Amino acid sequence: MEMIADILLVAGAVGAAAYCYVLARRLARFTDLDSGVGAAVAILSQQVDELGRVLKSARAQAEEGTESLRELTMQADSVAHRLELLVASMHDLPEIEAPIRPEPVQKPAARSEPDATFVRHSRRSA
């Protein structure tokens, strides 16, 4: 009886070892960096790094555009203020009764005869 128990114990140990070996191989394939989840994790990690670089670049460009827009807005405000002053100073000028108009340019006289005459010849029947 003791011998049967030892045989069953050895068979169970061999079965457990085989099961562990199969699981270890599956796990190695599962976490392999060339294929499987390991590859997916590695690719996602690279994409996150690339996205971070693109985000930093976009943020820098947005800040540069904001600064440029701020400068242009300040210039536009300055020009608008000067235009308001110019328009306000125009109210002090006396009004002109009749505006000066340039004399109209006279068109050359049209010729009475055309330079070329086009005539259609009739076909002669044979």
Question: Of 40, 38, 21, nearest to 29 (Cα)?
Answer: 38
Query: Once rounded to an integer, what is the mean pLDDT over residues 75-90?
Result: 91
Kindly tell me the sign of the dihedral angle through the C-alpha atoms of 28, 32, 35, 38: positive
Q: Choose between 70 and 36: higher pLDDT.
A: 70
The Cα 24–Cα 32 span in angstroms is 12
Q: Report which residue type is found at 23.
A: L
| Helix, strand, coil percent content, the chain, rounded in steps of 5 | 65, 0, 35
pLDDT band at 73 (very low <50, low <70, confident <90, very high): very high
Question: Rounded mean pLDDT of the chain?
Answer: 84
Give Cβ neighbours of residue 39 (< 8 Å, ≥ 6 apart): 32, 33
Contact 80, 73 (CB under 8 A): no
Query: Once rounded to an integer, what is the mean pLDDT over residues 81-94?
Result: 84
User: Is the pLDDT at 78 greater than 60, yes or no?
Assistant: yes
Give Cβ neighbours of residue 7 (< 8 Å, ≥ 6 apart): none
- Pair of tokens at residue 55: 């985000």
